[in-house]
Structure 1
Amino acid sequence: RNPLVAVYYTNRALCYLKMQQHDKALADCKRALELDGQSVKAHFFLGQCQMEMENYDEAIANLQR
């Protein structure tokens, strides 16, 4: 596996979201965005993480991208 593929990080972030491990999901979303700043999935999952962590302003910003 190539650790430079954003999809791997977004897929794992979704797993972490389902397990309610929001800090790990957040880290994976941020890494995915470093690799692919246009990743819709990464922005969406990042927004979901931030909603769960009650960071509403940041969540809105990411969900609107």
Structure 2
Amino acid sequence: MSFQELKRRLTTAPVLVLPDAKEPFEVYCDASKMGLGGVLMQKGKVVAYASRQLKTHERNYPTHD
């Protein structure tokens, strides 16, 4: 995905789709010292977003596998 495409997707309102249990899902996630987030996708469309800030004690946990 190009930088311009990523920028466009981040600055437009998301449209969520209903999941189809018969199709495979894709999960993308990321974490930093301050928070974490993820996207559930199917057929290149967003099914759900999730994100939150880490609590103070959770910031001590490693963010890698």
TM-score range, shorter chain: under 0.3
Q: Which has the higher strand share?
A: 2
Query: How high is the TM-score relative to the length of structure 2?
Result: 0.24
Pair member with larger Rg: 2
> Taking CA–CA contacts closer than 8 Å with sequence separation of 6 or more, which of the two structures ends up with the larger relative contact order?
1
Query: How high is the TM-score relative to the length of structure 1?
Result: 0.24
